[in-house]
Structure 1
Amino acid sequence: MRPSTVRRAAAALAVTALTLTALPAKADPVKPPRLSAAAITSALNEDVSIPGTTWMTRPDGTVEVSYDSTVTGSKLTSLTGVTKKLGEGVVLTKLPGKLTTRISGGSAIYGGNVKCSAGFNVSRRGIYYLLTAGHCGAEAATWYNNSAKTSRLGSRHHFSFPGNDYSLIVYRTDIPRPGGSVNLYNGRSQDISRAVNPNLGKYVYRAGGTTGLQHGTVTGLNVTVNYPEGRVTGMIRSSVCSEPGDSGGPLFYRQYAYGLLSGGSGDCSSGGVSYFQPVVEALTRYGVAVY
């Protein structure tokens, strides 16, 4: 090759190298900002009403969306389609069994065709009432102490369900003053003197007519639950198990009242998740107090 040809080839290579060097580096794709828990919850409230689903905000700011065994096929596709659009701020988990209210099975109080559990005894201006689950109160106007319905307990004064899940039963005026304690199902009882909202991680007990005394911890606050009957909000989630007939039963620790059993999934043999109506909200709504 002649010297002039070599010089031209070298110059061409230099121009090519300069051109390649001058090309801008390809930028990494920019991730969209993570949505806030409030924005995610708002979207879920708007776009998801599938029975068997729940959601709550975790301490780390992510939103945990849970679904039960009935959410399959097109329902699951619809749910995951929404959660994927909401980005990495959503964590999807599966619940054990089927999410239901707990109004059937053995229990302490009976009304209509259902059986539930007594919650907390409360009072207002010398009148005594019983707090229980709203979905129980929705089923019957008159409540009894026994399954034969020969011993009348009282009458439904008010109920709220869905949306909330609490009900107020007014005791008969001719019965003795009801006690302010909770049955521990071991021959003893626990006096209840205060109602407060629990913190995450709080150790708690639940009493119910079907499964007696059970324990666990609070695992979520301000939880949204979609039952087949409708949505309830502001619930307490716990690791305490429950079964049909336990509805309305009290969530407590020592002298502190926390909530009323609303529903759950799983059972007390294999384990499960339960949801509770905060009792402070119900007390405020009805203007009553534990004693």
Structure 2
Amino acid sequence: MSHKRIPKRKAAIAVGGVAALGAAALLLPNANASQSNGDAATPRTFKSNDVSDVASMLASQLGDAFAGSYYDAANKQLVINVVGNNSNVVNQIERAGAVAHQVQNSTAELTAAAKTLKSDASIPGTSWSVDPKTNEIRVTADSTVTGAKWNTVESTVKNLGSGVATLSKSAGTLKTFVDGGDAIFGGNARCSLGFNVTAGDGTPAFLTAGHCGVAAAQWSDAQGGQPIATVDQATFPGNGDFSLVKYDDPATQTNSAVNVGNGQSVQINQAVEAAVGQQVFRMGSTTGLHDGNVTGLNATVNYPEGTVTGLIQTDVCAEAGDSGGSLFTQDGGAVGLTSGGSGDCTAGGETFFQPVTTALAATGATLGAGDAGAGAGDAGAGDAGAGGAVDPSASAADPGAGGDAVDPSAGAVDPSAGAVDPGAGGAVDPSATASDAAGAGTGQNAGHHTRRKHH
């Protein structure tokens, strides 16, 4: 079976697998519209993509009084934690349309506590992040942390003092997910492509997990196929989990859209900062589309391979093969790349993501600078004309639609089925060849997400 590179075609981004109906039904166009009632003392309603900018502005203005922020999704309000009862500070927050919430722990105190955890409790299988809703550090230990290791973590948390940190036990095992998914293949690993980007030198590229970039230097869109992209930069473990992979053919045209299954896509408009309380969607080739909420920022995760800092913590599930996959918002904001976690999509658990904004800054890449209008001439899930809207009545997991446009038994593409398995719902133009299916500008990405578990 031969597989050619993706010449002068549109590489749709990083998705595959069967999407979950529940999450797909939530992806409605023009939802969470921002409103303002004109009364400076009455809280505004915010779109989740906008709260990080306002929170950052207030953080710089309030100085030491600022103790974190989060998004109240039920009321669509931005909550700002403050230490002390300074009326000037409260007025400043309210003038910005946010809600002031008095708390005990300052940002400096929580930062100092996190440093203590890093020095005294960096044990594989543990993680921690700041939860601004409780104004505490949330520490989690997985099932491998027992005996003396558990005692060390427990005593460290206790010594931080009352109301500073909480410790909980996870039934799963904290790990990266490097062995599944219908997307990209490198060496013996399979990962999910995250977002197509433009590298600093103007060439087409994509972002995926750093542990994927460390695992193999070259990546293909099909198992055993010819490489289509080469790792340019990779960070893992350390200050993040991200890699920039450049397409070998400089004529590759990249499309910024996430295929969410059943011929639907969400156009990606910009990279956005995560906010605690924000609703997010994750797409991966192993488990498809799932949604949840951001629960912590600047998380530290102690994987067996080493410690990774600066991650986003969520309650969105993921499994092996989803690594590197896209975390995004309802209105087209690119939030993160799947890193790792514990649990699965049956029992649940926590999942960590590399912030896209940090990965772009570190690699010098830009998002959305490619062919933003791609898709109008291509049939299928990557049609940018879809505007990011998903038909709420459609079941992405409908067996007739087959959300997965790639036959999982055939690597990335089924050579006996033209561009895709005929039972897969035709997410790829049926006139395309099997080797073109991955990069034909449809919603199926240049390689989907392989059935490996890359969180």
* Band of TM-score, shorter chain: 0.7 to 0.9
Whole-Å Cα distance in 1 between the matches of residues 105 and 257 of structure 2? 47
Q: What is the rounded CA distance, in whole Å, between the counterparts of 1:41 and 1:231 in structure 2?
A: 13
Deviation of 1:212 after TM superposition, in Å, equals 0.9
- Residue matched to 1:255: 332
Q: Residues of 1 paired with 2:252 and 2:303: CA distance?
A: 37
Query: What secondary structure, in the 3-state scheme, does the structure 2 residue paired with 1:281 have?
Result: helix
Question: Do the aligned partners of 1:192 and 1:257 also contact (CA within 8 Å) in 2?
Answer: yes
1:120 corresponding residue in structure 2: 195
Letter in 2 for 1:220: G
2:268 corresponds to: 192
Q: TM-score, normalised by structure 1?
A: 0.85
**Among 271, 279, 285, which residue is 1:203 paired with?**
279
- Paired letter, 2:154: T
Q: Distance in 1 between matches of 2:262 and 2:282?
A: 13
**Who is 2:435 aligned against?**
none
Whether 2:362 is the aligned partner of 1:289: answer no
Tell me which residue corresponds to 1:165.
241
Instruction: Report the counterpart of residue 186 of structure 2 in structure 1.
Output: 111
Identify the residue that residue 28 of structure 1 maps to in structure 2: none
Q: In 2 relative to 1, CA 131–34 (structure 1 residues): closer, same or farther, beyond 3 Å?
A: closer
In terms of mean alpha carbon deviation, does 173-182 or 76-85 score higher? 173-182
Q: Does the 8 Å contact 1:122/1:128 carry over to 2?
A: yes
Aligned partner of 1:238 in structure 2 is 314
- Equivalent-residue separation in structure 2 for 1:121 and 1:96 (angstroms): 35
Count, aligned residues: 258
Instruction: Give 1:186 deviation, angstroms.
Output: 2.2
> In the superposition, relative to structure 1, how do residues 96 and 153 fare at CA in structure 2: closer, same or farther (>3 Å)?
farther
* 2:164 corresponds to 1:92: no
**CA apart distance, 1:183:** 1.8
Q: SS of the residue aligned with 1:257?
A: strand
Distance 2:268 2:226 in 1: 25
Query: Is 1:75 matched with 2:156?
Result: no
Q: Note if 1:214 corresponds to 2:287.
A: no
Higher RCO structure (Cα 8 Å, ≥6 apart)? 2
Normalised to the residue count of structure 2, the TM-score between the two structures is 0.55
Cα distance in 1 for partners of 2:341, 2:182 equals: 16
Q: Secondary structure at the match of 2:178?
A: coil
| Structure 1 residue 107 displacement after superposition | 2.9
State the Cα RMSD in Å: 1.6
Distance 2:305 2:135 in 1: 29
Distance 2:214 2:190 in 1: 12
- Name the amino acid aligned to 1:37: L
1:156 aligns with 2:231: yes
Offset at residue 175 of structure 1 (A): 5.5
Q: Please state whether the residue corresponding to 2:111 is helix, strand or coil.
A: helix
**2-structure distance, mates of 1:185, 1:51:** 36
Partner of 1:83, secondary structure, is: helix
Task: State the AA in 2 paired with 1:290.
Answer: L
Q: CA deviation at 1:189?
A: 1.8
Deviations 1:177-217 (A, max 9, x none): 12211121222221112001121111110011110111111
Q: By how many angstroms is 1:146 displaced?
A: 0.9
The DSSP-based 3-state class of the residue aligned with 2:204 is strand
Conserved 8 A contact 2:204-2:252: no
Q: Provide the C-alpha distance between the structure 2 equivalents of 1:129 and 1:70, rounded to a whole number of angstroms.
A: 37
Would you say the 8 A contact 1:55–1:66 is kept in 2? yes
CA distance in 2: counterparts of 1:274 and 1:175, whole angstroms: 35
* 1:62 equivalent in alignment to 2:136: yes
8 A contact 1:122–1:129 mirrored in 2: yes
User: Structure 1 CA distance, aligned partners of 2:120 and 2:105?
Assistant: 19
Aligned partner of 2:30 in structure 1 is none
Report which stretch shifted further, 184-193 or 211-220. 184-193
- The answer to whether the 8 A contact 1:58-1:220 is kept is yes
Q: What residue is the counterpart of 2:346 in the other structure?
A: 269
**2:206 corresponds to:** 130
* Corresponding letter in the other structure for 1:98: T
Counterpart residue type for residue 176 of structure 1? T
Q: Which amino acid in 1 is paired with 2:171?
A: P
> Aligned with 1:284: secondary structure?
helix
Structure 1 residues 191 and 92, CA, compared in 2 at 3 Å: closer, same or farther?
same
Aligned partner letter, 1:110: F
Q: Percent identity?
A: 46
In structure 2, the residue corresponding to 1:96 is in which secondary structure? Answer: coil
Post-superposition CA distance 1:36-65 (Å, at most 9, x none): 212211111111111110111221332111
* Deviation at residue 34 of structure 1 after TM alignment: 8.0
Q: Secondary structure at the match of 2:343?
A: strand
Amino acid in the other structure paired with 2:229: G
Bigger Rg over Cα: 1
Q: Does the Cα contact within 8 Å between 2:197 and 2:367 map onto a contact in 1?
A: yes
* CA-CA distance at 1:174 after TM superposition: 5.8
Q: Which SS does the other structure have where 2:254 is aligned?
A: coil
User: Which segments of 5 or more consecutive residues in structure 1 lack a partner in the other structure?
Assistant: 1-32
Cα displacement (A) at 1:288: 1.1
- Give 1:90 deviation, angstroms: 1.7
Question: Where does residue 220 of structure 2 map in the other structure?
Answer: 144
CA distance in 1: counterparts of 2:273 and 2:221, whole angstroms: 29
1:131 Cα shift? 0.2
Structure 2 match to 1:46: 119
Counterpart residue type for residue 271 of structure 2: A
CA offset digits 1:146-165 (Å, max 9, x no partner): 12x21422111110011110
Q: Which 10-residue stretch deviates more, 273-282 or 189-198?
A: 189-198
Q: Which amino acid aligns with 2:159?
A: K
